[in-house]
Structure 1
Amino acid sequence: MNNKISVAIKYLLGVVFLFSAYSKAVGPGLIEIILIDHGLTDSREIAAALTRILIGFEFGLGILFFLPYEIKRFTLPLAALFLTVFTFYLLYTEFVLGDSQNCGCFGSTIAMSPIESAFKNAALLILVYIVHRHEKTSRKNLMVPAAALIIAVAVTFIAVPVKSADDFPFSNYTHFEGAGRADLSSGDKFVAVFNTECEHCQELAREIAGSDKDRKFASKLFTLFYSEGEVNVDSFKTLTGYDYPYRLIDADEFFDLIGSSPPRIYVIRNGVVKDILDDNFDEFIETLQK
Structure 2
Amino acid sequence: MKVALKVIYIILSALLGALFLYSAYTKTLPIQTFEYTLVEFVHFPWWLAAVGSRLLIGLETALGVLMILNIYGNKKWILKLSLLILATFSIYLIYLWATVGDDVNCGCFGDAIWMSPSTSLLKNLGLILATLLLLKFHDGLKGKIAHIISIVLLLGVTSVPFFYYPIPSAAPSFLKDDKYEIDLSALYKAERPHIPDVDLRKGKHIIAFMSLTCPHCKIAAYKMQLMKRDNPNISMFMVLNGDSTDMQQFWDKTKAEDLPHEILLGQDFVSLSGLRLPAIYWVDDSWVVAKSDYITLNQQEIENWIESKE
TM range (shorter): 0.5 to 0.7
- Which residue of 1 is the match for residue 105 of structure 2? 102
Contact 1:195 1:262 in 2 (8 A): no
Instruction: Indicate how the Cα distance of structure 1 residues 49 and 245 shifts in structure 2: closer, same or farther if over 3 A, else same.
Output: same
User: Could you tell me which residue of structure 2 aligns to residue 158 of structure 1?
Assistant: 163
The answer on 1:3 being equivalent to 2:6 is yes
Could you say which residue in structure 2 is the equivalent of 1:267?
277
Corresponding residue for 2:50?
A: 48
Q: Report which of the two has the higher share of helix.
A: 2
SS at match of 1:2: helix
What are the superposed Cα offsets for residues 52-83 of structure 1, whole Å, 9 maximum, x if unpaired?
01111111111111153527621222111211
Kindly report which structure 2 residues correspond to 1:62-73, keeping only aligned pairs within 5 A, or say none: 62-65=64-67, 66-70=69-73, 73=76
DSSP 3-state at the match of 1:245: helix
Output the aligned Cα RMSD.
4.1
Give per-residue Cα distances to partners, 1:13-61, cap 9 Å, x unaligned.
110111111111231112211221135422x233111110111111111
Q: Secondary structure at the match of 1:267?
A: coil
- 8 Å CA contact 1:61–1:79 kept in 2: the answer is yes
Q: Give the aligned partner of residue 177 of structure 1.
A: none
1:111 aligns with 2:114: yes
Question: C-alpha deviations, 1:195-253, integer Å up to 9, x for none?
Answer: 69997999xxxxxxxxxxxxx959777598xxxxxxxxxxxxxx9555342435447xx
Corresponding residue for 1:14? 17
Rounded Cα–Cα distance in structure 2 between residues aligned with 1:199 and 1:240: 19
TM-score, structure 2 as length reference = 0.57
- Is the 1:72–1:132 contact (alpha carbons within 8 Å) kept by the matching residues of 2? no
Alpha-carbon contact 1:36-1:47 (below 8 Å) kept: yes
Asked if the contact 2:76/2:135 (under 8 Å) is kept, the reply is no
Q: Which amino acid aligns with 2:40?
A: D
Identity %: 26
Residue of structure 1 equivalent to 2:83: 80
Per the alignment, residue 306 of structure 2 pairs with: none
Structure 1 residue 134: Cα displacement: 2.5
Q: What amino acid sits opposite 2:82 in the alignment?
A: A
| Bigger mean CA offset, 72-81 vs 83-92 | 72-81
CA distance in 1, matches of 2:64, 2:276: 38
For residue 133 of structure 1, report the CA deviation from its aligned partner. 3.1
Deviation at 1:135, TM superposition (A): 0.7
Q: How many angstroms apart in 2 are the aligned matches of 1:241 and 1:156? A: 37
2:170 & 2:192 partners in 1: Cα distance?
31
For structure 2, list consecutive stretches of 5 or more residues without a partner in the other structure. 174-185, 195-211, 222-242, 252-256, 280-291, 295-310
Call closer, same or farther: CA 1:14–1:245 in 2, change over 3 Å: same
Deviations 1:239-279 (A, max 9, x none): 9555342435447xx79x9999447575359x958xxxxxx
State how 1:118-129 maps to structure 2 within 5 Å.
118-129=121-132
Change in Cα spacing, 1:39 to 1:139, as seen in structure 2 (3 Å) is closer
Equivalent residue for 1:143, pick from 128, 143, 148? 148
Q: Deviations over 1:70-113 (max 9, x none)?
A: 27621222111211121121111111354742111111111211
Structure 1 portions without partners, runs of 5+:
169-193, 203-215, 225-238, 274-290
